[in-house]
Amino acid sequence: MTAPSVGRAVLRREDLPLLRGEGCFVDDLAPANALEIVFLRSPLAHARIEAVDVTAALAIEGVETVLTAADLALPPLVSPCEFPGSYSPPRPLLAEGIVRFVGEPIAAVVAASRYAGEDALDLIELDLDPLEAVPDTEGALTDGATLVHEGHPNLYLESWLEAGEVDTAFGQAAAVVERTFRHARVSASPIEPRGLVAEPNGEGVRLWSSTQGPHKLQLAVAEALSLEKGQVQVLCPDIGGGFGQKAHVYPEEIVVAAAALRLGRPVKWIEDRVENLLGSTHAREQQLKVRAAADRDGHLTALDVVQTTDQGAYGSYPHGPTLEAHTTSGLLPGPYRLGAYRLHSRAVATTKCPAGAYRGVGFVVAAWIHERVMDLLAAELGLDRAEIRRRNLIDVDEFPYETLTHQRYDSGDYRRALELALEAVGYDTFGEERRRARSKGRLLGLGISCYVEPTAMNSAVFKARGMVGIEGYDGAHVALDQDGGATVWTTTPAIGQGTETTFAQVVADSLGIGVEQVRVARSDTAVGSLRGTGSFASRSAVSAGGAAVQAGSEVRKRLLEDAAEQLEAATDDLEIAEGAVRVTGSPNASVRIADLVSTARHDRYRVSAHWDPPSVAYPYATHVCVVEVDEATGGVTILRYVVAEDCGRVINPDIVEGQIQGATAQGIAEALYERISYDADGQLRTASFMDYLLPTAGEVPALWIEHLETPSPTNVWGFKGVGEGGTVGAPAAVANAVCDALGADLNELPLSPEMIRKAAVSVAP
């Protein structure tokens, strides 16, 4: 028998070509006779378009055409959203009538080179009649506010939820804390911005795209251009990160495809960094007014929350305008028992870039808030911060546990994760360490963050949220090759998360062959008649992995059936080893897999499968960090950082640790550095990395990681997701540590140096 590969630290096979410079990204593609497209973007946040004169632009040498909304004449993108009372506005492919944020595309120049296209952009005469900007949710919700979408209030969603006796719980509470939390708007900032190459292909179009959802892009382009699904092929080259930003379908992508069809030539679009920060998607911007109640023993008895989410000018296709609002509110109870919960949630329209998915969407804000609440209640009651968490964490024997927000936590040992992290960071001796540091003028603090998150959300979840344009399942196609190896394609493209390695491990074990015999191909919508959701929400291992196991298992079954016939043996007496199917205990009675493939009909060993997880998986972790704060500069140095995590059955421990390290780096960045900022006129003030601050390797610590492994009881092979967890846990851990160091109460992210210096002065002895 071939030794199993799942659970082994198989070396990442995708790394070496990239390190050698042998990767192929969208910008590396250079089809013959290709044109390039550039977009004229709105310089104003809100204005009526009086005229767009492209005459002078068309006269530039090398310009093939200039497209406006009138020239394009294609329907807008409308994200299907059936949540009661919600409004999902149409988003024009090129602005028509009104522009609603700085950076919204108004026209597109198609030219022989980008240089010619950029020159032509400067000659387009744009007549805009300014309208009042709506730069923040407070102004958007005032009486008489300017409407972002005429005829509709500045609300995409307003909803209420009440579970349990909220008022009674507050009336009987021994401690009540009330705070307003604000999380800044941020950008996913993948190292490779968006990009697309489109070329005519018969009556249809072939696209190479840096997308996290190729099959969704295929459907959206087909619908917009009135093509059959099979007339649109989407292929994924190497992708330089996505982090949720590339999980959406954007107007520019459809414009590029339309231009290629109309001109009968390939058309290429590469977004630059300014465009990415201006006009892709942002995330996270929320304000939450929170009241929390606890009894004298520190048990959390009630939460009362007013949540306001700044969605920007549109929803992001296909997720719509409610993504951030729904995900945060559903996870606010965290990994704790909660007796009563009241929520008033609003997703608000403003004249900013639309909000969309970003690693840990919604869950980051939820975890930051419930972990700040735990620290605040502990201080109010005079309890140890770790002890209050011990008393509230859901116990092992309570699973499956359904929260007041209808999250059904499947399995785990939350307390064990807490204890492992505390032990590794040196919690019991930290008090003395802090005292010694204080005696030398150094400010040390320790922060704790416990969280649980849903991963690989299924079709039932998206349907319940009204997001009926998202499948909630994924697919895989497994085919045996002539040499006896196998190739696998999935609907979840590789975006840096290591799936070229992990999918090879999963398929190898499902087939019973060596991992070195499995090739993982780039996602391609022309293969296997697959449909699926794509690579986001930590779903690749669970949903696409589940489909890969099913497809591989069916191929294995067919191999055993065909070999049994040739060997005149029962399938139960056969095993697969060393490239052959053989009778167990009689290795000479065997038939090579390559021979079975060569004599079978062409589709005998080609199997597609789809997997809609029967239940959402719930990985969890505890993050604990120790920081030093410099009072003079407001700088924060992370001295130690520990993560105790459980992502279910581990496919590849090295890849799991890499995912945790990278995600935690992004979470630290949210806590201390990143902020998208607009002025009162809706102008973006952080349109480059000169102004939008990202951490470097020098600011990101090495992690100490402790693993737990509680397999999911419902999903294939016990997999849970791991891609987002570090981002979810880190902001709260860092924020709590800084507050602890200063003895301050800071409830806005990021914690800027200015904020920290001010707090240090106010709490100085």
* pLDDT, mean over the chain: 97
What is the CATH topology of the domain spanning 31-131+189-279? Aldehyde Oxidoreductase; domain 3 (3.90.1170)
What is the C-alpha separation between 25 and 23, in angstroms, rounded? 6
How many Å from the N-terminal Cα to the C-terminal Cα in the chain? Answer: 69
Q: What is the edge-to-edge ordering of all strands in the sheet holding 636-646? A: 443-452, 620-629, 636-646, 704-708
Q: How confident is the model at residue 765 (pLDDT cuts 50, 70, 90)?
A: low
- Residue 246's contacts (CB-CB under 8 Å, 6 or more residues apart) are 190, 194, 210, 211, 212, 213, 239, 495
What is the C-alpha separation between 617 and 378, in angstroms, rounded? 30
Give span(s): CATH 3.90.1170.50, the chain: 31-131+189-279
Name residue, tokens 């299924």: 458
500 and 523 in contact (C-beta within 8 Å)?
A: no
Neighbouring CB atoms inside 10 A of 763's CB total 12
Per residue in 111-125, pLDDT tens?
999 999 999 999 999
Per residue in 37-54, pLDDT tens?
999 999 999 999 999 999
Look at residues 163, 177, 158, 225 and name the one whose alpha carbon lies nearest to residue 198: 225
106 and 686 in contact (C-beta within 8 Å)?
A: no
- Residue 31 pLDDT > 60, yes or no? yes
Longest dimension (CA), the chain: 87
Neighbouring CB atoms inside 10 A of 304's CB total 21
Structure-token pair, residue 44? 């104003």
Main-chain dihedrals φ then ψ at residue 302, nearest 5 degrees: -160, 150
Per residue in 628-682, pLDDT tens?
999 999 999 999 999 999 999 999 999 999 999 999 999 999 999 999 999 999 9
48 and 97 in contact (C-beta within 8 Å)?
A: yes
Look at residues 70, 53, 38, 39 and name the one whose alpha carbon lies nearest to residue 127: 53
Position 763 scores a pLDDT of: 64
Look at residues 337, 341, 374, 380 and name the one whose alpha carbon lies nearest to residue 174: 380
Structure-token pair, residue 248? 């959406």
Structure-token pair, residue 315? 């929803």
Amino acid at 525: T
Give span(s): CATH 3.30.365.10, the chain: 15-22+473-611, 360-458+616-762
State mean pLDDT over 303-330.
97
Classify domain 360-458+616-762 at the CATH class level. alpha beta
Position 640 scores a pLDDT of: 98
Structure-token pair, residue 358? 């970003």
- Residue 435's contacts (CB-CB under 8 Å, 6 or more residues apart) are none
Amino acid at 685: R
Structure-token pair, residue 153? 């209030």
Residue 108: alpha-carbon gap to chain centroid: 29
What is the CATH topology of the domain spanning 15-22+473-611? Aldehyde Oxidoreductase; domain 4 (3.30.365)
- Residue 3 pLDDT > 90, yes or no? no
Position 587 scores a pLDDT of: 83
pLDDT above 70 covers a percentage of the chain that reads 99
Main-chain dihedrals φ then ψ at residue 355, nearest 5 degrees: -85, 150
State mean pLDDT over 157-186.
98
- Residue 410 pLDDT > 60, yes or no? yes
Per residue in 442-474, pLDDT tens?
999 999 999 999 999 999 999 999 999 999 999
User: Helices (DSSP H) in 63-202: which residue ranges?
Assistant: 69-72, 114-121, 137-140, 166-172
- Residue 1 pLDDT > 80, yes or no? no
What is the C-alpha separation between 484 and 408, in angstroms, rounded? 42
**DSSP three-state, residue 28:** helix
Position 762 scores a pLDDT of: 73
What is the C-alpha separation between 322 and 292, in angstroms, rounded? 25
Sign of the Cα torsion 750, 336, 357, 310 reads negative
Per residue in 592-601, pLDDT tens?
999 999 999 9
300 and 340 in contact (C-beta within 8 Å)?
A: no
What is the C-alpha separation between 688 and 692, in angstroms, rounded? 6
What is the C-alpha separation between 141 and 151, in angstroms, rounded? 15
Position 279 scores a pLDDT of: 97
Burial (CB count <10 Å: 0-12, 13-18, 19+), residue 481: middle
Position 591 scores a pLDDT of: 97
Position 466 scores a pLDDT of: 94
